[in-house]
Structure 1
Amino acid sequence: MENVGKTVRSVGTARAIFLGVSSLIFAASAAATLIWCASMDAMGGTPMPGGWTLSTLWAPMCGQTWLDAAVSFAGMWNVMMVAMMLPSLAPVLWRYLDGAAGGSGARAGALTALAGAGYFFVWLVAGLLVFAAGAQLAALAVAAPALAHTAPAAAGIVVAIAGVLQFTAWKGRWIACCAAMPSCTHARFDARAAWRHGARLGRHCVCCCGNLMAALLVAGVMDRPAMALVAAAITAERLIPARGKVARGVGLVAVLVGVVMVVRAVAA
């Protein structure tokens, strides 16, 4: 009984430490994201045909090379991803930590951190692809004013499509897959296995919430309310037991928002 009590206390202490560290990382990343958004707002942007503004995010600033711009974007993107994804990722990482060494031990903590690094590395790669695509589209919008004029309506269509995808069997399969991922069934707990576990979680996450991230990108990646809403939607559809109903509710809201965006763009 004494050993059982010690184990329970050890796991409880490890859980408290894990939650404390996770909370600090979330708070730091959220604060850094808000500072980043404020700095981008202060820089303004380029007014474009159709009544929208092209952010300086998609081109090198004065004195920067394209490589500098890509690295800067990737860094800011991953900080934002930590703030947005950590609430839904933390329970998964705790399951991994608990499986690695009963929720205790420095080695288990290091492996869990490595799994988290593997997860966010996938989002880093996704961010670089997003920057490359965004830079190309920005250059195209500058070169073709007539095309730029359609951008607000096109953004509304993307948001509506993202909402429609929430109702599909494709989305349901990915949500179900994400729900199954927390149950850790690793035969080995080593650095390679931890990294692969995190990378697999990252790939599943990108596929599962890629439609919602696309909606955020076209609505305004620096739009703080939109960012908070998308983060809340992603967390809710992962953690709430009635995740199918949550996904469909999020989809309905996205479709309505997309339609409103299109109507406003056409009426402008």
Structure 2
Amino acid sequence: MTRQAAGRGVPSLRAWSGVEWALAAALLVLAAAAWVVTSVVAMPDMRLGILAGPSPMGGDMAAMSVGLGLFVLTWVVMMAAMMLPAITPFTVGVRTLLPAGTRTRRVLVGLTLGYLAVWSALGLLAYAVVRGFDTVAESGSTTAVKTGAVVLLVAGGYQFTPLKRWCLVRCRSPLALVMRHGPQASRGPVGAFAVGMRHGGYCVGCCWGLMAVLLAAGVMSLVWMAVIAAAITIEKVLPRPELAGRLWGAGLLGAGAVLFLAPGLVAM
């Protein structure tokens, strides 16, 4: 970690206590378990999206017949797999900044569960979007790829907006969260859960474009999950997040423009 990281509330790795290393290890073990579970329960037809080529989700609707409940359950596990590594330094930073008497396990669990609850609720919207993509895929592979290209263009453009930067700053800074909401988080697990939801809201505002790309590329593809999770983690953890965000944005804009003008590159 750098001085910049320490300044926003994330302590240097060398300054982490044994308890903080244990907390980080626990979060990463949970993330690893979630990756394993996702690989087991992911529906095969949902590993491909509208950007993958000809009618990846069309034709056989059996994959979607599992319904909303199973999709959201799988989505919750996916969000744990993708987001827990990204929020590990943040959670350690929050623990460091909270008053000594309030750094309880229940408070930290409440913060984490509140954060994941927001991403889990987003699964309802994700299900609707995926069903819409499924309908688009039935219209033909060229239409599907062009629709996916529009998703890339929108997501890439969002990376350059002031709202993206505003959410990213708040999503990265434990210091800002504790200064604004520390007393509420310190009251107990209920208050911590509410504060965790606030943090999750900032993160959704920061990362929804990248998650839309995942829906178009293959919502349950382990490869694309890893790519998007890596991009999100880099923005949240490493220095110069705005530069990284602009690089992702430029890449998405370029890929979206190419696929929109030449869908035949993947459509058949």
Paired residues of 1:181 and 1:201 also in contact (CA < 8 A): no
Provide the rounded CA distance (Å) in 1 between the counterparts of 2:32 and 2:48.
28
Equivalence for 2:197 = 199
Residues 210-239 of structure 1, C-alpha deviations (whole Å, 9 max, x = no match)? 011111111211232222111111111111
Paired residues of 1:97 and 1:109 also in contact (CA < 8 A): no
Provide the rounded CA distance (Å) in 2 between the counterparts of 1:165 and 1:81.
21
Equivalence for 1:4 = none
Paired residues of 1:216 and 1:227 also in contact (CA < 8 A): yes
The alpha-carbon deviation at position 58 of structure 1 amounts to 6.3
Secondary structure of residue in 2 paired with 1:194: helix
The alpha-carbon deviation at position 52 of structure 1 amounts to 2.7
Paired residues of 2:47 and 2:221 also in contact (CA < 8 A): no
Secondary structure of residue in 2 paired with 1:54: coil
The alpha-carbon deviation at position 92 of structure 1 amounts to 1.8
Equivalence for 1:35 = 40
The alpha-carbon deviation at position 122 of structure 1 amounts to 0.7
Equivalence for 1:53 = 56
Equivalence for 1:125 = 121
Secondary structure of residue in 1 paired with 2:57: strand
Shift in CA distance, 57/220, structure 1 to aligned 2, threshold 3 Å: farther
* Greater Rg over alpha carbons, structure: 1
Residues 9-66 of structure 1, C-alpha deviations (whole Å, 9 max, x = no match)? xx722112212211210110111122234x525x99999xx723117586214xxxxx
Q: Which amino acid aligns with 1:23?
A: L
Equivalent residues, number? 242
The alpha-carbon deviation at position 99 of structure 1 amounts to 3.6
Q: Which stretch of the first structure deviates more once superposed, 247-256 or 200-209? A: 247-256
Larger RCO (CA within 8 A; separation ≥ 6): 2
Gaps of 5+ in 2: 1-15
Matches within 5 A, 1:1-268: 12-37=17-42, 39-40=43-44, 51-54=54-57, 59-61=64-66, 69-100=67-98, 102=100, 108-139=104-135, 142=138, 145=139, 149-183=142-176, 184-185=178-179, 186-188=182-184, 189=186, 190-266=188-264, 268=267
Equivalence for 2:12 = none
Identity over the aligned pairs, expressed in percent?
28
Paired residues of 1:58 and 1:131 also in contact (CA < 8 A): no
TM normalised by structure 2 equals 0.79
Q: Which amino acid aligns with 2:38?
A: T
Paired residues of 1:58 and 1:138 also in contact (CA < 8 A): no
Q: Which stretch of the first structure deviates more once superposed, 158-167 or 206-215? A: 158-167
Paired residues of 1:167 and 1:251 also in contact (CA < 8 A): yes
Paired residues of 1:52 and 1:152 also in contact (CA < 8 A): no
Paired residues of 1:40 and 1:57 also in contact (CA < 8 A): no
The alpha-carbon deviation at position 254 of structure 1 amounts to 1.4
Paired residues of 2:41 and 2:74 also in contact (CA < 8 A): yes
Residues 114-158 of structure 1, C-alpha deviations (whole Å, 9 max, x = no match)? 11111111111100121133224534654xx36x65111110121
Secondary structure of residue in 2 paired with 1:234: helix
TM normalised by structure 1 equals 0.79
Provide the rounded CA distance (Å) in 2 between the counterparts of 1:92 and 1:60.
38
Provide the rounded CA distance (Å) in 1 between the counterparts of 2:241 and 2:248.
10
Paired residues of 1:167 and 1:248 also in contact (CA < 8 A): yes
Q: Which amino acid aligns with 1:73?
A: F
Provide the rounded CA distance (Å) in 1 between the counterparts of 2:245 and 2:158.
9
